[in-house]
Structure 1
Amino acid sequence: MSERQNIEWKKIWHDDYLKWVCGFANAIGGVIYIGKDDNGNVVHLENYQALMEYIPNKIRSLMGIICDVNLLEENANKYIEIKVNPYSVPVSLRGRYYYRSGSVKSELTGIELNEFLLKKAGKTWDDVVEEGAGIQDIDDGSINQFIEDSREKGRLPDTTGLSSLQILDKLRLTEKGKLKRAALILFGKDPNRFYPNVMVKIGRFGIDSSDLKFQEVVEGNLVHLLNEVQVQLNYKFLTRPVDFAGLHRIEKGEYPVAALREMLLNGLVHKTYMGTSIQIRVYDDKLSIWNEGVLPQGLDLESLKSEHNSRPRNPKIADSCFKSGYIDTWGRGTLKIINSCKEAALPEPEIIEKDGGVQVTLFKKNQESSPVKIENNLLEIQRAFGAISDRIKLGADKNKEFLREHFEVIAEELRESFRLTSGKLHESFGLTSGKYISNTALTLELITITPEIKAEEIGAILDVSERTVQTYLKKLKEDDFIERIGGRKEGYWQIIKQDS
């Protein structure tokens, strides 16, 4: 018999091994052999008689549990077997709690201890009543949006004429008229008032994590985050906008919508809400989503690549997401991510455990195996454009030459993604293929390439004053090409999609 998850070999007894007993009792049980070396060979215990009395008494007095302690013999060598049963109640050793996960014994503290104690009490974090909250902390608009989103699937019970509190009660998000934590996460006006980091951080990086170009933080309840994260990704981080409602649509040159949506939903449903925020990192060639919270006991990374039973960390939140249609079938989320990438001819996603959480990374097509000409791809233009500081050093003549050379690609992007017709472009800028392109048009191109660009940076690239740039921006705003999102320092320019 080999040493494994629920078996330990020890040559001699030491009181420190009581932590292993505690860890087994809090997990799935196990056996500790005293008198076996690391290879499983029996070594004779000289003090076995004293240990047969000492060990069970020590376990009982310090932990309040009873274990079977048996004396065994092999080739005239005596050794001891300690059988530890799993306990439905939490077991502590001198006021500390230990848990056996895999082949590792660890002390439970902080968030892990809180979740462990709740589990032993038959509860989960999101099923606990939030005593300081009331119906005044619930956003009716989010509930209405939730109900509207649920209509297509038809899984939600009839809510016609019900108040917000009655709807929450139907969703089992209340207890004796009081709100559970799940209700605040799903529909709270300001869930961050009760719990830290109910938010998604999105960062745009260059070649690696040390090259942060800009970032955005989206706060709010789950219904709001599902919509607003999409908006931020579309208008600031992704080359081509995506429609999260169109789950079967594949965006050419970007990432499958189904994969992005499922990654975000997985993070929101399985997140440790007393931990840190969900983090989305967007690079030139990949996108990753990380959420805090380790995999459940018995589920490993390999299991995620095939159909498996889902054990959501927050089952109340997961149940509501299922009824709304946000989640189709539990246990298939990672398969959807993998399969949608396969259908889009993208590399297989990477799923890893990292920093106490799970990270899923999508990759774009391998540029070496599928080369893309710079004149036919906006992303390649963005890469070639490089850092703004580098463009400034080149001088206005070279910058304008670069921008004019690729303006047709930008015009095509504006037409395809934002419905800016050739007629409107011509009307505003007098554009005709091969003819002069104004600085106002080049300003729009700069905004398309780099939404976070500042007026003074545009001026430095085009070699005009900031005041002149403000004139260009004013015209673009008056012609309904652009609008400003956020403040001067942290905001960005957003291109306005035209009506069909």
Structure 2
Amino acid sequence: MNQKQLKELIKKGESQELDFKRTPENIGKDICGFANTNDGIILVGVSDKGDVIGTTDKKEEAVANTAYSLDKPVYPEIEKVKVDDKLVLIVKVKKSSELHTYKGYGYRRVGSTNKPMALEELVKKAQELGIVKFDSEVCNGATLEDIDKKKLNWFLSEAKHKRGLEIPENTSVKEALMRLNLSRDGKITNAAILLFGKNPQNFFLQCEVKCIRFKGTDVTGRMIDMKIISDNILDQLKKAEDFIFEHIPLAAWIEDMKLQRQEKWQYPPKVIREALANAIAHRDYTSVSKVQIRMFDDRIEFWNPGLLPEEITTVDLRKKHKSIPRNPLIARHFFWVKYCEEVGTGTNRMIKRCIGWGIPEPDFEQITGDFVLTVARSKLTDELLERLNDRQKNLLEYLKEHNKITKQEYMKLTGISKTHAFRDINNLVENNIIKMEGSGRSVHYILKESVPNGPKKDRKRTEGK
């Protein structure tokens, strides 16, 4: 940074990313605050009002020593620039992936100040960074009497059958919890109570799933049904799953030359199971919010308290990504009974299954502290497909096989004029059935979602639940 750039920086004044210090005294709070919150720059030798006072070369060592004195050392980049013959130290601090404290206090950057973090904030920050895991902490007040032995035995049997877990069903509760890493020094963990507790809500009131079926496509619609599910989290998943299947249609039809009727749920059952497992296993159990399942005429929303880990974005969920479970003990036990996988491929499988089912890819969002996964029904309803002409229907079948088509290719395949081709294609675009990609001569069209395979006109169709 040169003198001109430094002057421009000083003009901006103190902010979330910039702090002024006359001397390095108490600079540890600033370094700690930036390391815990966001990248920041500290200018040593500048007053709070932005006047350049200057400092000495010796102060560089004082800054470095202070940064090193944090409970977990920070190594800022220190640059020296002179403004009107007065030396300014430019101390650049990167946001850290660790939790830092200075003289026994954790600090976070709030605007142009550094605020000491309350104990609850420190614990939550440690959990977010994976330093402390909620599910592995000891559950205060819990004893072996709070564990449902029948549920534990069911788990041991199911895990042996599904994944080959080698813990006999007749193993004592104490030994089973120890071998499952669900106890610490003989004390029961939060995960043990959530998974196998007789009454987990006695310890964690927020440990519930709220299921709502709305009429229409908005939360302002009338509630057709609502259920709050308590119990242990293994049973919560099953009961929430039952609620969903009570409220989605099952299409059934008879095909020629087949004795049994064919059936298909509106949404892929394995996607519903995976979405529920993710919401329950990866939620933030320190939040007072519940897991919510919101069902509408055209979609299901799975609301999970807690955001994604900082290393992962919603875009990452659509490609290969590493697995960073918020509650690794819970995720591990869901894995044992095949409620979920551990390898960071769950969202990829959901995308693939939705496409194969003929519905849009699931949507991933982060909204007001919650992670929201949405599974929507196909926009290509039978009613919409019936309004298409034969050329357009053939075009959709062509795209299923060849993935894309140009307007010229469509004209050649159908033998129609440019005007008719434009009209056919534009109609499909307006109805959100296909979309245009590319520009200029590379323009082509692809399906916006898979064309569903289902009952055809010559099949007998029934609807049920």
Normalized against structure 1, the TM-score is what? 0.60
Structure 1 stretches lacking a partner, 5+ long: 36-43, 243-249, 374-410, 418-500
Distance 2:327 2:175 in 1: 21
Counterpart AA for 1:255: Y
Matching residue within 19, 23, 27 for 2:33: 23
Counterpart AA for 1:318: A
Matching residue within 116, 127, 141 for 1:132: 141
Contact kept? 2:241, 2:272, Cα under 8 Å: no
Q: What does the per-residue CA deviation read over 1:172-193, in whole Å, with 9 as the maximum and x for residues that have no partner? A: 0012221111000111111111
Aligned partner of 1:292 in structure 2 is 305
Distance 1:306 1:293 in 2: 21
Matching residue within 257, 271, 279 for 1:259: 271
Matches within 5 A, 1:254-333: 254-275=266-287, 276-333=289-346
3-state secondary structure, aligned to 2:325 = coil
Distance 2:115 2:314 in 1: 20
Contact kept? 1:203, 1:216, Cα under 8 Å: yes
Structure 1 residues 141 and 94, CA, compared in 2 at 3 Å: closer, same or farther?
A: closer
Aligned partner of 1:448 in structure 2 is none
3-state secondary structure, aligned to 2:212 = strand
Matches within 5 A, 1:84-483: 84=93, 86=96, 90-91=100-101, 95=105, 97-98=107-108, 113-117=122-126, 122-205=131-214, 206-213=216-223, 214-235=225-246, 237-240=247-250, 252=264, 254-275=266-287, 276-367=289-380, 371=384, 412-413=462-463, 417=465
Distance 1:175 1:241 in 2: 50
3-state secondary structure, aligned to 1:326 = coil
- Aligned-residue RMSD, C-alpha: 4.3
Matching residue within 60, 68, 81 for 1:73: 81
Q: What does the per-residue CA deviation read over 1:439-472, in whole Å, with 9 as the maximum and x for residues that have no partner? A: xxxxxxxxxxxxxxxxxxxxxxxxxxxxxxxxxx
Contact kept? 1:52, 1:69, Cα under 8 Å: no
Aligned partner of 1:398 in structure 2 is none
Structure 1 residues 302 and 16, CA, compared in 2 at 3 Å: closer, same or farther?
A: farther
Quote how far apart the aligned CAs of 1:343 are: 0.8
3-state secondary structure, aligned to 1:347 = coil
Distance 1:187 1:325 in 2: 17
Distance 2:326 2:221 in 1: 33
Contact kept? 1:155, 1:325, Cα under 8 Å: no
Distance 1:372 1:138 in 2: 54
Structure 1 residues 52 and 261, CA, compared in 2 at 3 Å: closer, same or farther?
A: farther
Distance 1:26 1:12 in 2: 18
Structure 1 residues 361 and 9, CA, compared in 2 at 3 Å: closer, same or farther?
A: closer
Distance 1:339 1:95 in 2: 47
Counterpart AA for 1:268: I
Distance 1:16 1:354 in 2: 37
Distance 2:267 2:117 in 1: 38
Structure 1 residues 61 and 90, CA, compared in 2 at 3 Å: closer, same or farther?
A: closer
Counterpart AA for 1:135: L
Distance 1:344 1:74 in 2: 65
Quote how far apart the aligned CAs of 1:68 are: 5.3
Quote how far apart the aligned CAs of 1:48 are: 2.6
Structure 2 stretches lacking a partner, 5+ long: 10-15, 45-49, 253-261, 387-460
3-state secondary structure, aligned to 1:284 = coil
Contact kept? 2:283, 2:304, Cα under 8 Å: yes
Contact kept? 1:115, 1:125, Cα under 8 Å: no
Aligned partner of 2:395 in structure 1 is none
Distance 1:224 1:215 in 2: 17
Quote how far apart the aligned CAs of 1:130 are: 1.4
3-state secondary structure, aligned to 1:255 = coil
Structure 1 residues 47 and 339, CA, compared in 2 at 3 Å: closer, same or farther?
A: same
3-state secondary structure, aligned to 1:343 = helix
Higher mean C-alpha displacement, 207-216 vs 219-228: 207-216
Structure 1 residues 98 and 199, CA, compared in 2 at 3 Å: closer, same or farther?
A: same
3-state secondary structure, aligned to 2:125 = helix
Distance 1:11 1:156 in 2: 55
3-state secondary structure, aligned to 1:184 = helix
Quote how far apart the aligned CAs of 1:79 are: 4.3
Aligned partner of 1:444 in structure 2 is none
Distance 1:361 1:21 in 2: 40
Distance 1:51 1:284 in 2: 69
Structure 1 residues 73 and 149, CA, compared in 2 at 3 Å: closer, same or farther?
A: same
3-state secondary structure, aligned to 2:163 = coil
Quote how far apart the aligned CAs of 1:62 are: 11
Q: What does the per-residue CA deviation read over 1:264-302, in whole Å, with 9 as the maximum and x for residues that have no partner? A: 111111111121110010000010001111111211111
Structure 1 residues 110 and 277, CA, compared in 2 at 3 Å: closer, same or farther?
A: farther
Quote how far apart the aligned CAs of 1:126 are: 0.8
Contact kept? 1:99, 1:107, Cα under 8 Å: no
Distance 2:221 2:383 in 1: 26
Structure 1 residues 96 and 362, CA, compared in 2 at 3 Å: closer, same or farther?
A: same
3-state secondary structure, aligned to 1:192 = helix
Contact kept? 1:188, 1:221, Cα under 8 Å: yes
* Number of residue pairs aligned between Structure 1 and Structure 2: 357
